[in-house]
Amino acid sequence: MSIAHERSRGLRDWSDQRWRSLVALSYVCHGKDGARWRFQCDCGHRGAYYLRQVQRGERTTCGCDTKPAPATAWPFPRVLGSDGRPVSSVHRAALLAQAA
C-alpha cells in the first residue's frame, strides 16, 4: 500500500519512529487487531508486528533478547562418585550404611 493510500485512509505515518529496540519501516496492512507495520530490530532482524503492541511496550524486540530461564542452583554440595558422576544423597547414605 502506498503512503498516499495510507493518508487517504487517515493513517499516520510512523516511519523512522523508534520504540525501544524496534524502528518502524513501513506500513504493511490493517486487520481486525489494528495496523501491522514492518519493523527493524537493533539486531538487524526485520518483521511485521502490530503497531499497538509495540507502542504499548508489549513487544520491545524481535525476540532476540529472549533467553531461557536460568537453571536452578542446586542448594546442596554435589558429591561425586568414583566414576566422576554426581551421586544422590540417598545413594550416598546407602553406601555409608554398607561401609559401617
Distance CA 19, CA 37 (A): 13
User: What pLDDT band is residue 90 in, cutting at 50, 70 and 90?
Assistant: confident
Map out the domains of the chain as residue ranges: 3-56
Q: Give me Rg for the CA atoms of the chain.
A: 27
* Least confident piece of the model among 6-10, 45-49, 69-73, 89-93: 6-10
Percent of the chain at pLDDT exceeding 70: 73
Q: Is the pTM of this model over 0.95?
A: no
Answer whether 49's CB lies under 8 Å from 61's CB: no
User: Residues 26-56: pLDDT tens digits?
Assistant: 999 988 889 999 999 988 899 999 999 999 9
- Mean pLDDT value across residues 13-30: 92
